[in-house]
Structure 1
Amino acid sequence: MKTRGLKRQFEGTVVSDKMDKTVIVAVERLVKHQEYKKYVRRTAKFAAHDEQNQCAVGDKVIITESRPLSRTKHWRVVNVVEKAV
């Protein structure tokens, strides 16, 4: 697959696979609190395209930006890093 320019990539965990060819991926990041200087976890959920329906809940995956595929899908699953047990 050809890419145009730099695309963002995130590693996250699949939290839902109930849709056809779509998974919901939760991506965690650490953010430093302005006042208390403590690191806080922030979670963002992305709808990602899974062409072969290969992902299951609990899998660690890498997603990358893509053109809009639907109203909520702007990401694709690049590969599965670790399968859930």
Structure 2
Amino acid sequence: MAQKERVGVVVSNKMDKTAVVAVENRSPHPKYGKIVVKTKKYKAHDPENQCQEGDRVRIRETRPLSKTKRWELAEIISTKAI
């Protein structure tokens, strides 16, 4: 089975070796057709603490690393402009 990948924005990096990534899912409402935005947060393993808040990252599914951590950082797509 292929590993799932998601692209999102880092919303927190306050934990050691962990980043919280918010992933947006945009889909039309089944009845009304309006685009509805749903956001889900994933805890991702960041072994070198290289993510900063606001960075756009790609995360990859992995084995369970802790009680809530099942994703790992695959790459940093873009950094937050200062």
Indicate the TM-score class for this superposition, using the shorter chain for normalisation.
over 0.9
Gaps of 5+ in 1: none
1:64-79 to 2 correspondences below 5 Å? 64-79=60-75
* Offset at residue 29 of structure 1 (A): 1.2
Secondary structure in 2 matching 1:24: strand
> TM-score, normalised to structure 1's length?
0.92
Aligned to 1:29: 25
Runs of 4+ deviating beyond 3 Å: none
Figure out how many residues of one structure are paired with residues of the other and give that number: 81
> TM-score, normalised to structure 2's length?
0.95
Distance 1:6 1:19 in 2: 28
* Offset at residue 35 of structure 1 (A): 1.6
* Offset at residue 73 of structure 1 (A): 0.2
* Offset at residue 30 of structure 1 (A): 0.7
For the aligned residue pairs, the C-alpha RMSD in angstroms reads: 0.7
Distance 2:60 2:41 in 1: 13
Aligned to 2:13: 17
**For residue 71 of structure 1, what is the amino acid of its counterpart?**
K
Gaps of 5+ in 2: none
Aligned to 1:46: 42
- Write the deviation string for residues 40-59 of structure 1: whole angstroms up to 9, x where unpaired: 11101000000110000000
